[in-house]
Amino acid sequence: MDGWRAFFLCLCLMTTHSETVADFKELMHLMEQMETTQNHSVTELVWLIRTLEDSLLNTSFEGKNLTLKTHSIQTLVFKLSCNFPGLTLSSAALEQASQALVPHSMQFPAELTRGTCRKRQKALPLRLICVYFSTDYFFQNNNSSLLNNYVLGAQLSSGHVKNLREPVNISFWHNRSLEGYTVTCVFWKEEASKGHWGFWSPEGCRTEQPSPSLVLCRCNHLTYFAVLMQLSSAPVPSELLAPLTYISVVGCSISIVASLLSILLHLQTRKQGDSITHIHMNLHASVLLLNVAFLLSPMLPMPGPACTALGAILHFALLSCLTWMAIEGFNLYLLLVRVYNIYIHRYMLKLCVVGWGVPALLVLLLLVVQSSVYGPHTIPVFDSQGNGTGFQNSSICWVRSPWVHNILVMGYGGLTSLFNLVVLAWALRAVRRLRAQEKAQGPRACRDSVTVLGLTVLLGTTWALAFFSFDVFLLPQLFLFTIFNSLYGFFLFLWFFFKRCRSKAKVEAEMEAFSSSQTMDAHQGTLLACTQKPLALSGNVTCLWT
């Protein structure tokens, strides 16, 4: 009987070994197939990745870990228990690691298995798989370039791991200069779209640079990670970030108070007012919303629905502000060209539909098509005292898509600035031609200068400074743009207050002229009566006195 037992035991071991060898061969064949076959469709890419992950999670092997590699793909499988102490993987420490692979490492915290062990009564065996790609072929995305074209992935057999209190540390070493690049730690977020099965997103990851040759990613979940590189022609110098932030906060706060005061003063008059005043108040409202959203945006840099909503609101406020600037220019054009017969049926209603409706429609369309277009946006900071780009970057909730930023931010603002600059030049020409016909140049010249400055602010021509952020213009542009546009609401308030005081002085002057004319008419009537009737000496004296 003992002989038969030994025979069956050997047979089982041989069968298990043969199955294990078959599994290894299938895995190697799959990895080689992924390397050699090109021009995969999106469905085929997803199938290959999923098949590789499932095979690694279900492969039988002896020992605590398994490592397989091909030319551009390396896979590792680890058996974990609930008393997992943490794990650090380094390319230099792996025996099978090829010297051609770029140095990298992944550090997993002990917290990795706690959530699964709390949910399950029994400490079931867990598996951690790591998949390293030295090519970005399987994760191609437009407008993206990966550092060393390297992608590091990790997955736990229990399912998705997210919201870790202790982050997973992923290190990428390199030997290239990062000057002029915005470098961001990202993960592959699956979302089916035309031509792609996902996109790179910075949600849940923090980017650091402990040394010029190392990029450190700290992420609170498991998935595929990489370092995204984007050309940045005008990064912000790190030493200027603090003063620029201070100017922005102070300027926007002053503009918020000024815009609120302007709106309250307008409401206090309790009268309908003309279309010009209504246009001014709508512009004040859009500037108020823009400043409030801008101040709140850096407070929610972490991913989530709140940051997406705030980024959409900030974009809507900017588009509304630019649209109302263009409406100011259009209204000024009507006043200059069509002096008479400029009545338009429901003029203000139509302007409100354009000023508020068009930006809202554009933002809603973006949210419907791809909600991930809004979220945490990293502002590039250049460390002029180091050898590359500093990674203590500030983040705001803003537009993350490059093409949306180019078309619906820079392009939209450029067209608005160009139109208003043309209208401003037309207005200056009209004022100069009008004043050339007059002889008095003293007080008129002073008032005309104030008018020109007011129109310059009203039409938002200072926003055109955004297109001068290159070469020697960068540093002056940063400060001029920040100062002028953060105080834009305050400058509008000064223009509104100047017009209000000027209008009040004009009304008082007209009232005074009217009362004077009434008095003169009364005096003329009295003098006429005095000349027609022969009065005594006292009567003549009375007439002359009055």
Q: Quick check: 364 pLDDT over 50? A: yes
Q: Quick check: 179 pLDDT over 50? A: yes
Mean per-residue pLDDT, 443-467: 70
- Predicted local confidence at residue 534, as pLDDT: 38
Q: Which of 8-17, 19-28, 141-150, 388-397 has the lowest mean pLDDT?
A: 8-17
- Residue range 68-77, pLDDT digits in tens: 888 888 888 9
- Top pLDDT among 109 and 41 is at 109
Q: Alpha carbon 43 to chain centroid distance? A: 32
Cα(421)–Cα(435) distance, integer angstroms? 21
Mean per-residue pLDDT, 89-117: 71
Q: Quick check: 339 pLDDT over 70? A: no
Q: Quick check: 355 pLDDT over 90? A: yes
Q: Which of 13-17, 39-43, 343-347 has the lowest mean pLDDT?
A: 13-17
Q: Quick check: 458 pLDDT over 60? A: yes
Q: Quick check: 528 pLDDT over 50? A: no
- Predicted local confidence at residue 387, as pLDDT: 40
Q: Are 157 and 179 in contact (CB under 8 A)?
A: no
* Amino acid residing at 204: G
- Predicted local confidence at residue 122, as pLDDT: 52
* Amino acid residing at 124: L
Where are the alpha helices (H) located in 338-370, listed in sequence order?
347-352, 358-369
Cα(32)–Cα(30) distance, integer angstroms? 5
- Report, at the CATH architecture level, how domain 238-379+393-506 is classified: Up-down Bundle (1.20)
Cα(158)–Cα(113) distance, integer angstroms? 9
Q: Quick check: 169 pLDDT over 90? A: yes
- Predicted local confidence at residue 97, as pLDDT: 43
Kindly report the CATH number that applies to the domain delimited by 18-231: 2.60.220.50
Most confident of 164-173, 176-185, 341-350: 164-173
Most confident of 68-72, 271-275, 307-311: 307-311
- Predicted local confidence at residue 353, as pLDDT: 95
- Residue range 483-516, pLDDT digits in tens: 988 999 998 888 888 777 776 666 555 556 545 5
Confidence tier at 161 by pLDDT (50, 70, 90): confident
Q: For a pLDDT cut of 90, what percent of the chain falls above it?
A: 18
- Predicted local confidence at residue 292, as pLDDT: 94
Confidence tier at 108 by pLDDT (50, 70, 90): very high
- Predicted local confidence at residue 472, as pLDDT: 61
Sequence ranges of the domains in the chain: 18-231, 238-379+393-506
- Top pLDDT among 87 and 386 is at 87
Number of continuous H segments (helices) and E segments (strands) in the chain: 14, 16
- Predicted local confidence at residue 23, as pLDDT: 61
- Average pLDDT of the chain is 75
Most confident of 48-57, 226-235, 458-467: 48-57
- Predicted local confidence at residue 420, as pLDDT: 86
Mean per-residue pLDDT, 26-42: 75
- Predicted local confidence at residue 433, as pLDDT: 77
Task: Report the greatest alpha carbon distance in the chain.
Answer: 162
- Predicted local confidence at residue 532, as pLDDT: 41
Q: For a pLDDT cut of 70, what percent of the chain falls above it?
A: 70
Q: Are 284 and 352 in contact (CB under 8 A)?
A: no
- Predicted local confidence at residue 241, as pLDDT: 79
Q: Which two tokens stand for residue 60?
A: 């039988």
Q: In this structure, what are the phi and psi dihedrals at residue 73, rounded to the nearest 5 degrees? A: -130, 135
- Residue range 111-160, pLDDT digits in tens: 888 777 776 655 567 889 999 988 878 887 655 688 888 899 999 887 77
Q: Quick check: 334 pLDDT over 80? A: yes
Cα(209)–Cα(183) distance, integer angstroms? 10
Q: H or E stretch including 131?
A: strand 126-133
- Residue range 430-441, pLDDT digits in tens: 777 777 766 555
Most confident of 318-327, 413-422, 528-537: 318-327
- Residue range 180-216, pLDDT digits in tens: 677 888 888 876 555 567 778 888 888 888 887 889 9
